[in-house]
Chain A
């Protein structure tokens, strides 16, 4: 194995192995950098930008930037914390996220990040968009009102399920997740057992018949905030552990 590299996160020295990304290195030692479009089992795409950190003076996404020896990373600065809260806020006002009526509530990464970053009520102007629901498929449905365009369903479908059920359509604020059939999801080979059906961090792609299965109090983020698993894992493994984190699989 090649030699360890040293990076500095908010002044703390972290030993990690080369080939990891900044986010993976931080996860391994229990430093949680908020994220919405990263999962350890998928190729990172850097879409949500929540994991923006300042690396050697330049802003970059922690999820895709590989570590390099001597890197100086600013993570918990008041400015970046505020930027992240604002990104969450932007996602809330861009779509239609009505937590009380959403079956993902309590298990939703967007909602959990909002609580964690103290974004309790958006003040930015809402877009009030009209977005459609695709309920054609007997197993899986999409509510585009809640889509945050993180692209994880697309990555999972292509690289894990080998199916290419999803792609994007349009650009700018008009961008939407598209499916590989004019008939909608029913015309695609997606199944509830697919990775693509299970990775949505919000309540946009949901599996039918599974709503509200855990009672209040037993949902993913009821007892501890998002990222707590990563922070706690490091207490068990020790502060300079380079082991892979468990990942915050919420399915």
Chain B
């Protein structure tokens, strides 16, 4: 097929190698997929190697390559959602379309795929169709969705948002579910208030103010924001500084950024602008995960409005020397891109493989420029701190973990949604707010965090105690915790970027070793070996993904040893393969017992 539009799509992005992801997205939007011949034509039009285009296309799960359908239906396979019947939903889709999960209809119109968490755990089961989202589904609604998709002609071109959403109407409503608003994020926003205060003083004074607020990054690592800005501002690298807003919220069970961006995106963009002023940057990149592509029109509108109000662009707020603008970089489906160096690689139009450090992004980040990568929640805090003062901010939280924090609570509780609470709150108190009674376990900060039992519910969510990434997934007594762990181990091996041996080869091995125990064929020795192997993966993996990939296994082994012990065989050795299973095919063929 001759895809004649490709040169003009490439031209639209100034033929920039850095914008390869946007170009691929545009090609997919135009032709429904990225065919092998598209890859050739993109490479030719851009004057780069085909292998480099293929490298990017094949890395991200949201790019549809040849052989996949024009409409890709993605059903999240996440324990928080499956509580709400996503298995039944998948079954119904398979029946309606006559295909299995992971395959494509013969007319190339539909593909069915499992996907990781799409950040709608509070209103599941939800699905993504290309870029559009459908929430609170039930098997009864499946026919109407597929029928509408068939009749609107969208499938001929496999278009993305918002065409599908418009065609299918009110199904796609997303609620914010703010159960407990707090003083920082969900109060009325006076646009520009924080920014004006920042611009009325020197950049150094802005950093001083953030320093006195003792704000730590909200992405999980908890690095002091003022330190990061100082490192970027005073880097010896003389290149232009860059601010990156990290909205690649991929940790399963986390949806606080989704709500923050729906309700208070102005705080985030203003925080980026303030950061730009503080570190001396003119360029801002806002990296939005592909699962939130449906938020793009909303965010773009806000950015456009801020430009007309002189809160972005040349001479921000009339300031003589300060110019700053933001572009949205849409991701393409890869959990690893939440890691800041992988995010930078991805923003440069490459596969999202993390980088070695040093150099740190503060010295050589986006295109080798000193770059401050901040989580969107951190940036929202920045705006409020400038607006209301650091003293106001420090009245919340603990000594070492200042301020309030957004938590996404999902799973087995009466009130799933968003809670803004001071850092240092106990797990118990947060669970009580969400109406989670008699819970068996809570997964704190996603699968890369820790799964804890009631004996640890008194622990505090803050830097000094339990790392507070932003999510709590609650599991009731009826749940099979080890089956949940198994899902998350699958998640890690699926999302491994493949760069280093221990993560790429080790995560599937963790899965296999763990399966033997879950299926009741493991011995005490197998369990010990599993934990020992987990240690190797943790120590030798290159980035946080591999280093935390065994956390579901390690934390449940520590906190719920009885779940393992009851499944172990009381013998010294059991075979890895079950003889009966291994012989099943042969027996069937030979129709006799062997």
- State the A residues within 8 Å of B (CB): 46-50, 52, 59, 61, 64-66, 79-80, 82-83, 86-87, 90-91, 93-94, 124-125, 127, 148-149, 164-175, 178-182
Contact = CB atoms under 8 A, between A and B. Distances in A.
Contacts of B497: 171-172
B51 A87 contact: no
Contacts of A90: 501-502, 505-506, 509
Interface string B306-350: 000000000000000000000000000010000000000000000
Contacts of A174: 498
A169 B63 CA distance: 13
Given A47-B501, A49-B501, A59-B540, A178 B54 contact: yes
B499 to A, nearest CB: 6
Contact of A178 (B51, B535, B541, B542): B51
Contacts of A168: 55, 59, 351, 498
A169 B54 contact: yes
A52 B496 CA distance: 19
Contact of A125 (B50, B512, B542): B512
Contacts of A171: 58-59, 334, 351, 495-498
Contacts of A46: 356, 500, 542
Given A83-B539, A90-B509, A170-B59, A48 B501 contact: yes
Contacts of B51: 164-167, 178-180
A90 B512 CA distance: 13
B350 to A, nearest CB: 10
Nearest to A86: B536
Contacts of B440: none
A109 B220 CA distance: 39
Given A91-B505, A149-B504, A173 B498 contact: yes
Contacts of B513: 125
Interface of B: 36, 40, 49-52, 54-55, 58-59, 334, 351, 356, 358, 493-502, 504-509, 512-513, 533, 535-536, 539-542, 576
Contacts of B500: 46-49
Given A125-B509, A164-B49, A172 B539 contact: no
Contact of B495 (A66, A164, A172): A172
Contacts of B358: 66
Contacts of A182: 36, 40, 50
B494 A172 contact: yes
A107 B559 CA distance: 47
Contacts of B496: 171-173
Q: Which of B52, B358, B493, B536 has the most CB of A within 10 A?
A: B536
Summarize B's interface: helix, strand, loop or mixed: helix
B38 to A, nearest CB: 12
A173 B504 contact: yes
7 contacts: A47-B501, A80-B539, A125-B509, A167-B52, A168-B55, A172-B494, A181-B50
B339 to A, nearest CB: 14
Nearest to A124: B509
B529 to A, nearest CB: 9
Contacts of A65: 356
Contacts of A83: 535-536, 539-540
Nearest to A84: B540
Contact of B55 (A91, A127, A169): A169
Given A180-B50, A182-B36, A175 B509 contact: no
A127 B504 contact: no
A87 B356 contact: no
A119 to B, nearest CB: 12
A122 B541 CA distance: 20
Given A49-B502, A172-B496, A182-B50, 13 more contacts: A49-B542, A52-B540, A87-B540, A91-B501, A164-B52, A167-B51, A168-B59, A170-B59, A171-B58, A171-B334, A172-B494, A175-B504, A178-B54
A209 B58 CA distance: 33
A180 B493 contact: no
Contact of A93 (B351, B494, B505, B540): B505
B224 to A, nearest CB: 19
Q: Which of A46, A79, A87 has the most CB of B within 10 A?
A: A87
Contacts of A179: 51
A50 to B, nearest CB: 8
Nearest to A59: B539
A170 B498 contact: yes
Contacts of B495: 171-172
Contacts of B512: 125
Contact of B498 (A66, A87, A125, A172): A172
Contacts of A50: 501
A184 to B, nearest CB: 12
A126 B371 CA distance: 42
Q: Which of B51, B497, B500 has the most CB of A within 10 A?
A: B51
Q: Which of A50, A80, A94 has the most CB of B within 10 A?
A: A94
B502 A87 contact: yes
A110 to B, nearest CB: 11
Given A167-B49, A173-B508, A149 B498 contact: yes
Contacts of B49: 164, 167, 180
8 nearest A-B pairs in the assembled complex, by CB-CB distance: A175-B498, A167-B51, A180-B51, A90-B505, A94-B505, A167-B55, A172-B496, A52-B540
A127 B140 CA distance: 40
Contacts of B55: 167-169, 178
Nearest to B55: A167
A93 B533 CA distance: 14
Nearest to A151: B499
Nearest to A164: B49
B581 to A, nearest CB: 14
A169 B495 CA distance: 14
Contacts of A148: 501
B341 to A, nearest CB: 12
Q: Which of B495, B500, B501 has the most CB of A within 10 A?
A: B501
Given A90-B501, A90-B502, A173-B496, A49 B54 contact: no
A250 B540 CA distance: 26
A173 B542 contact: no
Q: Which of A65, A87, A166, A168 has the most CB of B within 10 A?
A: A168
A164 B358 CA distance: 26
A178 B52 CA distance: 10
A98 B58 CA distance: 29
B9 to A, nearest CB: 21
B137 to A, nearest CB: 28
B525 to A, nearest CB: 11
Contacts of B356: 46, 61, 64-65
A14 to B, nearest CB: 20
Contacts of A87: 501-502, 536, 540
A48 B504 CA distance: 10
B504 A49 contact: no
Nearest to A171: B498
Contacts of A47: 499-501
A61 B509 contact: no
B539 A173 contact: no
Contacts of A181: 50
B116 to A, nearest CB: 12
Nearest to A173: B508
A127 B334 CA distance: 24
Contacts of A127: 508
Contacts of A166: 51
